[in-house]
């Protein structure tokens, strides 16, 4: 049974619409997605891998990385194709992101490792027909994992902050870093709903 092209292409299009900031690049990609529907099987496989590259290369923030989630409730063939594409997307996106903290970089590395393992299992199960895919994914994912390891080693550690009372992020940013301008970033890292009132206990960058 062949993978469902409509599901795969719709997924890539959704990622692109969310991540690609250039209207020209987005329009070009959406045209390519439409044209890919009529390609032969081998040509489609190569094209969709290249299509996934575009939104992955536009990823800039941890939230962008988190958007790479394979479609749920698909048939076996489509699920396998999506797992391979997910590993490709994460491998290309992860090294481009400025991970703000060591735990986030480590979490991303674990997610990439899991996705890569699942994709490599698919290549391995295909025997001789999957050798090239397996080798290519191993190289691509291996480089990304090494880069993420380096990023995690150099990223800023997290600390636990307890205030006993809710305070504005600007006040806490000044107390922690001597810079009230870091209030928005502090609220983002703490996952606070609003920078006006921070939680009484939260995680923050050490420096």
Burial 94-125 (b: 16+ CB within 10 A, else e): bbbbebbbbebbbbbbebbbebbebbbebbee
**Which range has highest mean pLDDT (1-10, 30-39, 66-75)?**
30-39
Q: Tell me: pLDDT of 75 over 70.
A: yes
Q: Tell me: pLDDT of 116 over 90.
A: yes
Task: Identify which has the larger pLDDT, 19 or 187.
Answer: 19
CA–CA separation, 207 vs 197, rounded Å? 21
Residue pLDDT, tens place only, 132-163: 989 999 999 999 999 888 887 776 777 788 88
Global pTM value: 0.77
């Amino acid at each position: 049974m062949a993978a469902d092209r409509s599901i795969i292409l719709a997924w890539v299009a959704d990622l692109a619409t969310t991540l690609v900031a250039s209207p020209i690049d987005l329009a070009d990609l959406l045209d390519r997605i439409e044209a890919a529907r009529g390609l032969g099987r081998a040509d489609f496989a190569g094209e969709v891998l290249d299509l996934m590259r575009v939104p992955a290369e536009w990823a800039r923030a941890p939230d962008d990385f988190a958007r790479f989630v394979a479609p749920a409730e698909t048939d076996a063939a489509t699920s396998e194709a999506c797992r391979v594409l997910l590993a490709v997307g994460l491998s290309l996106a992860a090294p481009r992101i400025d991970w703000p903290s060591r735990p986030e970089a480590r979490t991303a590395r674990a997610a990439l490792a899991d996705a890569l393992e699942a994709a490599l299992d698919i290549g391995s199960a295909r025997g001789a027909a999957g050798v090239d895919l397996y080798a290519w994914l191993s190289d691509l994912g291996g480089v990304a994992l090494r880069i993420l390891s380096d990023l995690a080693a150099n990223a800023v550690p997290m600390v636990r902050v307890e205030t006993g009372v809710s305070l504005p992020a600007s006040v806490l940013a000044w107390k922690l870093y001597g810079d009230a301008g870091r209030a928005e970033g502090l609220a983002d890292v703490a996952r606070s709903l609003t920078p006006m009132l921070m939680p009484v206990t939260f995680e923050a960058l050490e420096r």
